[in-house]
Amino acid sequence: MFVDVPAPGGWYVDGGLRHNNPSQLALDEARRIWPIVKRFCLVSIGTGRQKNVEFVDIEYSHAPKPKNSKSPIRSALSRIPGAKLFRTVKNTPSGLMELKKIGKACVDMSTSSEPVHEAILRIATSRDPDQRFPYYRFNVEKGMESIGLEEWKAKVRMGELTAQYMRTGEGQMKRNTCVQDLWKPAAVERK
């Protein structure tokens, strides 16, 4: 994106790598600003749970197929929409497509917000009472994995999935408890 104010402007790229869930950044910043405050309430709003990153196709994790069957690479290529070019290539280096798959898996892992959520959850539910704090993560569990972050046109579908998630018993219970913590927070404890 080109941002022209202030002049002369400049090109900017999404800096969210490893920070698609900024909860850890928010917690670190709060502790920096209020170093003697012991307890914070953190609300994290996700963009939907991603599907697991797969390095190995389940189909090919078993014994190899007979020699006369289609190769795993050709079979995988045939399932990619618009990959007609690859279908005509006879001698595609077998490792090339695997490297591409590994690269995609690395990108998927580096943009996942789940590791940050898990780290924050461990701190928020620590055995050490001085470390614990109220933490609420609202993240649609199903249906969002096929919608990319850049797909703003799917906002109606995202809204439907979010409303459905918030109507579940877990969503309602978490929302009500979160509202209570925000509406009537516990007294500020200082270190």
pLDDT at 187 over 90: no
Q: Name the band, by pLDDT with cuts 50, 70 and 90, for residue 109.
A: low
pLDDT at 183 over 50: yes
pLDDT at 108 over 60: yes
Q: Are residues 34 and 69 in the same domain?
A: no
Boundaries of domain holding 90: 58-108
User: What is d(CA 9, CA 6) in angstroms, rounded to the nearest whole number?
Assistant: 6
Q: Are residues 83 and 176 in the same domain?
A: no
For 156, phi then psi, to 5°, come to -65, -45
Q: What is the pLDDT of residues 134-166, one digit of tens each?
A: 999 998 888 777 776 667 778 888 889 889 989
Q: What is the model's pLDDT at position 136?
A: 94
Q: Name the band, by pLDDT with cuts 50, 70 and 90, for residue 174.
A: very high
Burial of 23 (0-12, 13-18, 19+ CB in 10 A): buried
Q: Are residues 123 and 104 in the same domain?
A: no
How many domains are there within the chain? 2
Per DSSP, the three-state class of 6 is coil
Q: Are residues 170 and 128 in the same domain?
A: yes
Which tops the pLDDT comparison, 154 or 126?
Answer: 126
Q: Are residues 154 and 65 in the same domain?
A: no
- What does DSSP assign to residue 99? H
Which tops the pLDDT comparison, 88 or 13?
Answer: 13
Q: What is the model's pLDDT at position 87?
A: 47
User: What is d(CA 181, CA 110) in angstroms, rounded to the nearest whole number?
Assistant: 32
The span from the first CA to the last CA of the chain, in angstroms, equals 44
Q: Name the band, by pLDDT with cuts 50, 70 and 90, for residue 86.
A: very low
pLDDT average, residue stretch 53-60:
57
Q: What is the model's pLDDT at position 70?
A: 56
Strands 42-45 and 135-138: parallel
Are the C-beta atoms of residues 48 and 147 closer than 8 Å to each other?
A: yes
pLDDT average, residue stretch 162-176:
90
| Tokens 């497509």 found at | 97
